[in-house]
A = this chain, B = another copy of it.
Amino acid sequence: MTKVRFHCSTTLDGYMAAPNQTLEQPFGDGIQGPLTDWMLKQRFIRENFGLGEVGEDGPSNDVIREAQSNIGATIMGRNMFGPVRGEWPTEAWNGWWGPNPPYHTPVVVLTHYAREPLVMEGGTTFYFVTDGVESALTQARAAAAEDQDILVAGGANTINQFLAAGHIDEFELHVVPFLRGEGERVLVGANLKLEPLRVVDGGEVTHLKYRVLK
């Protein structure tokens, strides 16, 4: 049975990005290091991003490896796909991740602007869906094998839409020890009862995993 999941790195006050997101600092001011440094040290991420196989092999590596396993299709918001806003000016922007993105699945990109599918190396194909979250979810389910999960990759606004609509079955927060106070916050606008699945103390990051009760 397919689960719809997300996992994300967030400050303790729920921020996944700060103001002033640009091409050079896609997470905005003063937050990229706290949110991503711990993750880029993990062996699984280093292997998957081609950063070399040296990396940490502790509890956070196990968490991130599990979170990225058994994914049949990925969904993301357009702002996670890239900094381009409005009509696609050219089709030159192919995502942040180079020719071989770390998804290796069909990736449904939520956008208001149509674009032809974009086939990348390594099994990643970006499909641009313009008719909303329900349609994106239907297309992701159709693309994934029956026993594989759908990952809502981000950003915060996309996760919040899926959560508030009751589409999320499970999620895991990677909580980093910062309060940011402003930016894009996750877990906004949902009224849901949860079941704690586990807590993993990763030292500089705390992993909190929940099931959504329906």
* Residues of A participating in the B interface, judged by any CB pair closer than 8 Å: 12-14, 30, 163-164, 173, 175, 177-182, 187-196, 198-199, 201, 203-204, 206, 208, 210
Please state if A178 and B201 are interface contacts (CB–CB under 8 Å).
Answer: no
Closest CB in chain B relative to A38 CB, distance in Å? 11
What 8 A-B pairs come out closest when comparing CB atoms? A177-B194, A13-B187, A179-B190, A199-B201, A181-B191, A179-B192, A177-B196, A181-B189
CB < 8 Å neighbour of A206 from B12, B164, B178, B199: B199
Please state if A208 and B178 are interface contacts (CB–CB under 8 Å).
Answer: no
Provide the residues of chain B in CB contact with A175, threshold 8 Å.
208
Bound-state CA distance A194–B205 (Å) is 11
Closest CB in chain B relative to A35 CB, distance in Å? 13
Bound-state CA distance A179–B191 (Å) is 5
CB < 8 Å neighbour of A179 from B178, B180, B187, B196: B187
Closest CB in chain B relative to A41 CB, distance in Å? 16
Please state if B14 and A210 are interface contacts (CB–CB under 8 Å).
Answer: no
CB < 8 Å neighbour of A178 from B180, B188, B193, B198: B193
Provide the residues of chain B in CB contact with A12, threshold 8 Å.
173, 187, 194, 208, 210
Known A196-B201, A196-B203; 5 more pairs at CB < 8 Å: A12-B194, A163-B179, A178-B194, A181-B189, A206-B208
Please state if B180 and A191 are interface contacts (CB–CB under 8 Å).
Answer: yes
Bound-state CA distance A194–B210 (Å) is 24
Closest CB in chain B relative to A206 CB, distance in Å? 5
Chain B residue nearest in CB terms to A180: B191
Please state if B210 and A193 are interface contacts (CB–CB under 8 Å).
Answer: no
Bound-state CA distance A146–B40 (Å) is 44
9 contacting pairs across A/B (C-beta < 8 A) = A30-B191, A163-B179, A164-B181, A175-B208, A177-B194, A177-B210, A178-B193, A178-B194, A180-B191
